[in-house]
Amino acid sequence: MILGINHIGIAVKSIDGALSAFNKIFNTVDVHSEELPDRKIKIASMRINESSIEFIESAGIDSAIAKFIEKRGEGIHHIAFTVKGIDGILKQLKDNGVPLVDEVSRPGAHGTKVAFLHPSGTNGVLIELCEP
């Protein structure tokens, strides 16, 4: 079951610079920072009511985020949805022919389980599913 938008992920060269710029707009101090060494990224999530903006910075020149920024520049990387029953949803999507990046969920930020849908099946938008 898809419950709603969880966050919008933005690829940035500098989390500190992004937080400074976006704090001028949203004036929030509710920020969670975390490193995901297995993906070679650093993230900072800025909470805005029921959703958040997630800034993603590369922690290695060979990370997916570094390659994304090199190819497309800084900007929106993905849209994430909160779900319940992520592995069942992934099976249903696969059975319906939706291209997946992840066929099973994996550990994500904030202690969530996450999986990505391939942009080739979503009009070029990378979709992340997140289960608390």
Cα–Cα dist 51/72, whole Å: 25
Look up the CATH number of the domain holding residue 123. Answer: 3.10.180.10
Query: What are the tokens at 9?
Result: 């992920």
Tokens 């090199």: give the residue.
70
pLDDT, position 61: 87
Question: From the first residue on, what is the mean pLDDT of each consecutive set of 10 residues in the chain (132 residues)?
Answer: 93 94 84 90 90 93 93 95 96 96 92 94 94 94
pLDDT, position 11: 97
The structural domain count of the chain equals 1
Q: 108 is in which domain, residue-wise?
A: 2-131
pLDDT, position 6: 93
pLDDT, position 79: 97
Cα–Cα dist 12/87, whole Å: 30
Q: Which of 54, 100, 96, 58 is nearest to 79 (CA)?
A: 54
pLDDT, position 113: 96
11-43 burial: b if 16+ Cβ within 10 Å, else e: bbeebeebbeebeeeeeeeebeeeeeeebbbbb
pLDDT, position 49: 83
